[in-house]
Amino acid sequence: MGGGGEERWCVVTGGRGFAARHLVEMLLRSDIWCVRVADLAPSISLDPREEDGALGHALRSGRAAYVSADLRNRAHVVKAFEGIEVVFHMAAPDSSINNHQLHYSVNVEGTKNVIDACIECKVKRLIYTSSPSVVFDGVHGIFNGDETMPYPDKFNDSYSETKAEGEKLVVKANGRNGLLTCCIRPSSIFGPGDRLLVPSLVAAAKAGKAKYIIGDGNNVYDFTYVENVAHAHICAEQTLASEVGAKKAGGQAYFITNMDPIKFWEFMSLILEGLGYKRPSTKIPVTFMMPIAHMVESTYKLLSRYGMPVPQLTPSRIRLLSCNRTFNCSKAKDQIGYEPIVSLKDGLEKTIESYSHLKAEHKKTTSKAYLYLGGGKIANTLLWKDQKQSVTALLLLIAIYYYLFTSGYTLITAMAKLLSFVALFLFIHGALPKKIFGYKIEKMPPSYFNISVEQARSLACSATYSWNNGIGILRSLCKGKDWSLMFKVIIFLLALNVLGTTSLQTIYKIGVFITFFAFYVYEKWEDAIDSYFNDAFSYLLRLKSEATQRLLKHK
């Protein structure tokens, strides 16, 4: 230990997370702290870089230790905090998982356990990793926001809401039994070791989905390099450790950024280009994407229990991708002495270098049509890669067409007959033994068709949001000022009118044709089609802009 004095121990909760790993290494390199790494896994597993780095050496020398702890279990937390002077509370579930019960149990109940354990174990200082999203309502962008901003009445998602509740608990705990607390709000963390931003961006690029810009592309963001986040935590701890600093920083919250705002889509483009992919160029209006996002989210809520993966396209994600989010760090600079130690430019270079294994190979292996269809049987069927399967599916759809539309049945009669076949199938399926000639018959449990109270509530919330969104549009129209919105409404109603005059029979035939032939054609000439689509889309956006400007001039 530096100075040869008594060992001083701190603990980092969620210590195997992205930002937490960097904090652990920075604490160990300071030669001031021994670090206890607390996380959910039963044991610690180091990657080769960590084995030869500060953490590996510290674990072998006894300057670091690992403890398995679930924050939702108070006994685990107390055991992890025994003999600890400082707690860096960084543990939190993945923010992209919109599961209120999970977020509440960790971010709120877990934080309560952390505070109680700090008081019981006589911990001196608690630094809580919060989020700028605690002041984001999911509707209004934030430009140069500071710590005077209040918590919103409604949050963008469960993660933001529960992080705000956790932050309130930590702020309120300041001064209890000698415990000093403060909160750090790092904005949009990036850097080496990130398992969310860059990998998902590259996956989207490989799937041909990274060429789109949600919104007008001019929204500005504050990003924070991960080592700057770790540095901010240490600045906060050092400030609380002094008598003068404790009076200023105790019970406070601080925005932390790289102090170098940049357009969100420019930042994404720099990462993509650095890894050899094309930068996004096609702009898609938020009003077009939001209904799709709501539909995707509702589908996930219904099918998640059957294994559907968490979708990337959700309403909260669309809002985050299209609004301004910049924050003022003056308070952090003045009160805890925080300034970035790594510039945005250098941070981007280090990040891109660390993901060299994800660089584009510049060779086309799989068509975008195949990727859009999710691969597997569906893609093979619709792209005619398995011709026997494609013909079978097409014949089945044709049979349904003749059964529903050309048999003379009314819609109700046809549906009744179809349901009778389904009921008969389910009855026979249920009566079959579990095995026939060695072949296992999978049984459907009664819960297969059930909708939980939580899912019903989520559906009701989605319907309510859609209704309120429509009311908001009507209010804007009634003001008679938003010509751009009026133009969009007219286009939408014209499209709806055309669809309404089309018979169900025609829609079915067109749908089958598009399903089995449009994807096949797109796969054959996807580059040319993409080019034509981009040109046409840009032309339509230009026409819309010109029409709006003319209407405003004539007003």
The single residue of 122, 163, 435, 555 carrying the catalytic annotation is 163
| Full set of structural domains in the chain with CATH | 2-358 (3.40.50.720), 365-402+482-555 (no CATH)
Structure tokens at 428: 């026979």
DSSP string, 414-468: HHHHHHHHHHHHHHHHHHS-SEETTEE-PPPPGGGG---HHHHHHHHHHHHHHHH
CA distances from 423 to 411, 416, 443 (A): 18, 10, 15
Predicted pLDDT at 120: 97
CB atoms within 10 A of CB 100: 14
Question: Would the pTM count as exceeding 0.75?
Answer: no
Q: How far apart are CA 420 and CA 417, in angstroms?
A: 5
Q: What is the pLDDT of residues 449-475, one digit of tens each?
A: 667 676 677 667 767 767 877 787 787
Interacting residues of 431 by C-beta distance below 8 A, sequence separation 6+: none
Question: β-strand 189-190 against 9-13: which pairing, if any?
Answer: unpaired
Structure tokens at 393: 């599916």
Are 280 and 213 in contact by the 8 Å Cβ rule? The answer is: yes
Are 237 and 125 in contact by the 8 Å Cβ rule? The answer is: yes
Structure tokens at 187: 């904005």
Q: How far apart are CA 441 and CA 151, in angstroms?
A: 54
Predicted pLDDT at 3: 41
Q: How far apart are CA 236 and CA 125, in angstroms?
A: 10
CB atoms within 10 A of CB 199: 12
Are 176 and 119 in contact by the 8 Å Cβ rule? The answer is: yes
Expressed in angstroms, the distance from the first to the final Cα of the chain is: 74
Q: How far apart are CA 349 and CA 343, in angstroms?
A: 10
Q: What is the DSSP letter of 301?
A: H
- The reply to whether 163 belongs to the active site is yes
DSSP string, 108-168: IIIHHHHHHHHHHTT--EEEEE--GGGG--SSS-EEEE-TTPPPPSS-SSHHHHHHHHHHH
Q: How far apart are CA 513 and CA 495, in angstroms?
A: 20
CA distances from 22 to 50, 196, 552 (A): 11, 16, 53
Which parts of the chain sit beneath pLDDT 70? 1-5, 300, 303-312, 362-366, 372, 374-375, 404-411, 414, 437-450, 452, 454-455, 458-459, 462, 465, 483-484, 499, 502-504, 527-528, 532, 535, 537-542, 544-555
